[in-house]
Amino acid sequence: MEASPIPIGSCSKEHEKIYKDWFTIADSGFFDYLSLSFNHFLAFLLISIMKSALLIDGDGRVTGNDATKFFAMSKLSRQELKQVWAIADSKRQGFLGLSEFIVAMQLVSLAQSGQEITSDVLKIDAENISVPVMEGLDALVNNKDSSHSTTNGEPETNGSSRPQVPTSNKWFTSKSSKKIPPSAVTSIVDGLKRLYYEKLKPLEVTYQFNDFVSPFLTNSDFDAKPMVMLLGQYSTGKTTFIKHLLRCDYPGAHIGPEPTTDRFVVVMSGPDERSIPGNTIAVQADLPFGGLTTFGGAFLSKFECSQMPHPLLDQITFVDTPGVLSGEKQRTQRSYDFTGVISWFAAKCDLILLLFDPHKLDISDEFKRVISSLRGNDDKIRVVLNKAHQVDTQQLMRVYGALMWSLGKVLNTPEVVRVYIGSFNDKHLNEATIGPLGQDLFEKEQDDLLKDLIDIPRKACDRRINEFVKRARAAKIHAYIISHLKKEMPAMMGKAKAQQRLIDNLEDEFGKVQREFHLPAGDFPSAEHYREVMKGYSIDKFEKLKPKMIQAVDDMLGHEIPELLRNFRNPYE
């Protein structure tokens, strides 16, 4: 099994330079001045505008509006262009970066040559795909080359324009209270940032959502690559699994029969191979790990980031975790909140893999707590029965049954959890031991898991929307709970006793909030967790309910998010 990432626009150096020039023009916004009929007079006018004004937005994104005008020069039908966009924007971001733009241009070329457009068509030798014919584009490209070399005396670097920073990157650091203009939103993720900054974050700040539920979101939380977390007892093959997918070692990887991974290791893309300590990585604003500082220095000393250049890591980030050991003693020996850290990563991850091997099917006390901490993320969980080659076919059937029985006791869901069976390592499997049936089974199971992993980047934007909506609903319920407790406090005397009574009977208070506001019982947080956090607060200092803030979040969920999705859907639909 080899995890090859989705096509990202590989082509020859010569074609890449051409596509970069085209991408700059498509990203310029100049096509707002053109009608789709495109005649020589308007082209001359456009060239004059380029020379005198250079009104290029250069944000590195070709939006649907830009694409419809630029792609029209290919003279393909609307249905063909719809398919081109759907494949190029496979992540459903609502825009094309340079690599996606190259994919789109290659698809346009294949469509012009009469080939059917499918997601598999680029699996051929992409470097030999010719440049498509774009009617009327040559004049723009030639003039762009001459105008860029003389503008402001700033030449291009390596044949491409200087990278631009999207406006949205400044939203979370700006001290301005002005609303973000809609024109600054050029993708679904940008739209979510804007809605969070203007509608959801004020509600979270008012009711201390960051202390009770989850830290405030930052720019990097929205822009982070999809993450996959691996959980399991020691020596179930978590680190080997990552190495198997990467087909190479990564910095800091240690493998052995004893508990070798004693820390959380984030394996992600980087310019060179290196390991970065946890305290350093937690304060880097461009990485989504700032929230881990709440777990203290004891945890950060057991946390590190392993960076290396790899095409798979350009798409996915992996989180390797310490092996879960058995016994109550193991929990008390940890110097940090292990299950709390797992819960934090679970909320951020797109997929959670629980690894077992045939000789470690027992689920220890700590493993039960870890699985319980995944509550609310059940849809992300997949189970992997690793090292299945160590038993024969008859034993494998018994092991599988025992595993399902064990999982049924800790995963309180009516659905049957998906279990992948295989041996995810680079060792050659002995067919004489596992038999032809086992060999075929392992190959099919590994292919299924690989498809699940490859789908993660494509579903990342949908997942981000899903998590954002979940967070908004959780923030609303939190506001109702906090304001209700505030309302139950006396105005003058007996505040301490009243607070203790409310904390002791928190489940009943949750029930009152649920009935008053007609909220789903399953969306309410853990009363025990709230009880612990509440001890450090004076309920009397909480804010009363602010209906306007609640209404703003309701409008966001009911109208603005659906409108955002409509604005950045396939422009040819």
pLDDT, one tens digit per residue, over 129-162 is: 888 888 877 766 666 555 555 444 444 434 344 4
Clarify whether residues 193 and 247 are in a common domain. Answer: no
Question: Is residue 151 included in any domain, yes or no?
Answer: no
Q: What is the pLDDT of residues 265-288, one digit of tens each?
A: 999 999 999 999 999 999 988 889
Mean pLDDT across 454-458: 85
Closest among 485, 456, 464, 466 to 544, alpha carbons compared: 485
Our count of domains for the chain comes to 3
Distance CA 387, CA 236 (A): 8
Question: Is residue 171 included in any domain, yes or no?
Answer: no
Question: Is residue 4 included in any domain, yes or no?
Answer: no
Question: Is residue 207 included in any domain, yes or no?
Answer: yes
Question: Is residue 129 included in any domain, yes or no?
Answer: yes
What residues contact residue 212 under an 8 Å CB cut-off, 6+ apart? 478, 525, 529, 530, 533
Mean pLDDT across 186-210: 91
- Is the per-residue pLDDT at 51 higher than 70? no
* Chain length of the chain: 573
- Is the per-residue pLDDT at 305 higher than 90? yes
Ordered strands of the 227-232 beta sheet:
274-277, 303-308, 264-269, 317-320, 227-232, 351-356, 381-385, 419-421
Q: What is the pLDDT of residues 488-544, one digit of tens each?
A: 988 888 888 998 999 999 999 999 999 999 999 888 988 888 988 888 888 888 899
Determine the pLDDT at residue 341.
Answer: 92
Clarify whether residues 337 and 248 are in a common domain. Answer: yes
Mean pLDDT across 191-220: 92
Distance CA 317, CA 315 (A): 7
Question: Is residue 144 included in any domain, yes or no?
Answer: no
Question: Which of 93, 110, 134 corresponds to the end of one domain?
Answer: 134
For 438, list phi and psi in degrees, rounded to 5: -65, -40
Clarify whether residues 124 and 197 are in a common domain. Answer: no
Distance CA 472, CA 88 (A): 30
Q: Write the CATH number for 315.
A: 3.40.50.300
Name the average pLDDT for the chain: 80
More confident residue, 127 or 77: 77
CA 548 to chain centre: 31
Q: Which of 164-173, 209-218, 334-343 has the lowest mean pLDDT?
A: 164-173
3-state secondary structure (DSSP) of residue 355: strand
Distance CA 74, CA 72 (A): 5
Q: What is the reported pTM? A: 0.78
Determine the pLDDT at residue 29.
Answer: 58
Clarify whether residues 241 and 211 are in a common domain. Answer: no
Clarify whether residues 481 and 523 are in a common domain. Answer: yes
Clarify whether residues 327 and 408 are in a common domain. Answer: yes
Q: Write the CATH number for 200.
A: 1.10.268.20
3-state secondary structure (DSSP) of residue 289: coil
Clarify whether residues 210 and 244 are in a common domain. Answer: no
Question: Is residue 455 included in any domain, yes or no?
Answer: no
Question: Is residue 210 included in any domain, yes or no?
Answer: yes
Q: Can you give the residue range of the structural domain that contains 551?
A: 188-217+465-567
Clarify whether residues 251 and 334 are in a common domain. Answer: yes
Clarify whether residues 414 and 287 are in a common domain. Answer: yes
For 283, list phi and psi in degrees, rounded to 5: -105, 5
Residue 255's pLDDT band (cuts 50, 70, 90): low
Clarify whether residues 95 and 193 are in a common domain. Answer: no
Residue 476's pLDDT band (cuts 50, 70, 90): very high
Dihedral over Cα of 79, 84, 87, 92: its sign:
negative
Clarify whether residues 408 and 323 are in a common domain. Answer: yes
Residue 34's pLDDT band (cuts 50, 70, 90): very low
Question: Which of 69, 100, 134 corresponds to the end of one domain?
Answer: 134
Q: Write the CATH number for 53.
A: 1.10.238.10
Clarify whether residues 234 and 337 are in a common domain. Answer: yes
